[in-house]
Amino acid sequence: MKQQLEAIRADALAAFNAVDSAAALDALRVQYLGKKGELTAVLKQMGKLSAEERPVIGQLANDIRAELEKVLEEKSASIEAQALQQRLVEEKLDVTIPGKAPVIGHKHPMYIALDEIKDIFIGMGFTVLDGPEVEFAELNFDRLNAEEGHPSRDWSDTFYFDEDCRVMLRSQTSPMQVRAMDTMELPIRIIAPGRVYRKDEVDATHSPMFHQVEGMVIDKGVTMADLKGTLNTVVEQLYGKGTKTRFRPHHFPFTEPSCEMDVQCHKCGGVGCPTCKGEGWIELLGAGMIHPRVLEMAGIDPEVYSGWAFGIGLERTAMRRFKIADLRLIFENDIRFLEQF
């Protein structure tokens, strides 16, 4: 029996030592020291012992129980300490580390360019108008002197909503000229920025959605000299003093005469290079004197009033302003790209 007790002692000590969780340790406590445990089972056989042996074995059993309980307690304390240590490491919080500064976004380069354009025109007394992107073909075309059969009205160029081609995604901001003439008192000085839509494939210079800024002045005695003077001033403010421009004759249904305005290439200074495709000039906008028929359709007497108008592509303006080579970068919204501006 003595050997049995010694064996239990040795087994228990080895098992206690090997264990590393509180739950496993508790299971061992039950196994060795519990009411139905190994030690108790041996003690239950004490009755078989002689009167001399009984106290000796009893003493030994008590000593072993006491020793095992002590070791258990120590082991339990060390497991607890270890667990606490681990939690302290895992849940470490250094309150002295500087906080994360909130990341504040900033303006998209195209809107930086738009805000510059707005500032320039507001400074010259223009009002900024906003208008619908879903537009009547009547305003986008008819009232701008582009009658049925005009190539720009084709299904293949324009997003129509109905079979009769009456409602569409505006293909230009020019219908804002009509909306201004219909609703505002003369004289009128407005710009109208916004999205426009055409059935174009996406490439480095095209997108089915892009932005224009429309501009229009109507007053008594307005001439082509006012158009050129104003647009030259705007270009100098946008691209720097001394930026050279040129006006080329062109055709738009709603202006007569019509022109396109080019700026001298910033890369080569007019000599010709890949950026300007060897031209020395880069096309910037379309403009012209408002066609008398357009004024008449709005109930404005072309004998008394005259006006000029222009339409400028905003992406192209921003690309030139910030030397961006590919239109797609403007719409992809890659933060690594946008953060440069």
The footprint of ligand DAH on residues 230-259 (CB under 6 A) is: 252, 255
| Residue in 137, 146, 287, 318 binding ligand DAH, rule: CB under 6 A | 287
Q: How far is the CB of 295 from ligand DAH (least distance, A)?
A: 13
Near ligand DAH by CB under 6 A, which window of 95-103, 161-169, 184-192, 282-290?
282-290
Q: How far is the CB of 114 from ligand DAH (least distance, A)?
A: 17
Q: Report how far apart, in Å, the C-alpha atoms of 84 and of each of 20, 79, 87, 94, 132 are.
A: 13, 9, 5, 18, 65
Q: How far is the CB of 107 from ligand DAH (least distance, A)?
A: 25
CA 320 from chain centre, in angstroms, equals 23
| Residue in 37, 109, 175, 311 binding ligand DAH, rule: CB under 6 A | 311
Three-state SS annotation for 49-79: CCCCHHHHHHHHHHHHHHHHHHHHHHHHHHH
- The end-to-end CA distance of the chain, in Å, is 89
The single residue listed with the structure tokens 């030259």 is 232
Report the distance separating Cα 216 and Cα 289, nearest Å: 10
Q: How far is the CB of 209 from ligand DAH (least distance, A)?
A: 14
Pair 285, 172: CB distance under 8 Å: no
Residue 288 binds ligand DAH (CB under 6 A) = yes
The alpha carbon torsion through 129, 135, 141, 147 (nearest 10 deg) reads -160
Report the distance separating Cα 8 and Cα 106, nearest Å: 75
Near ligand DAH by CB under 6 A, which window of 58-66, 114-122, 129-137, 286-294?
286-294
Residue 310 binds ligand DAH (CB under 6 A) = yes
Hey, what are 17's tokens? Answer: 């030592």
Near ligand DAH by CB under 6 A, which window of 3-11, 93-101, 308-316, 333-341?
308-316
Residue 214 binds ligand DAH (CB under 6 A) = yes
User: What residues form DSSP beta bridges with 127?
Assistant: 190
Q: 69 or 157: whose CB is closer to ligand DAH? A: 157
List the x/- string, 150-179, binding to ligand DAH by CB under 6 A: ----------------------x-x-----
Residue 280 binds ligand DAH (CB under 6 A) = no
Report the interface residues with ligand DAH, using CB under 6 A: 172, 174, 214, 252, 255, 286-288, 309-311
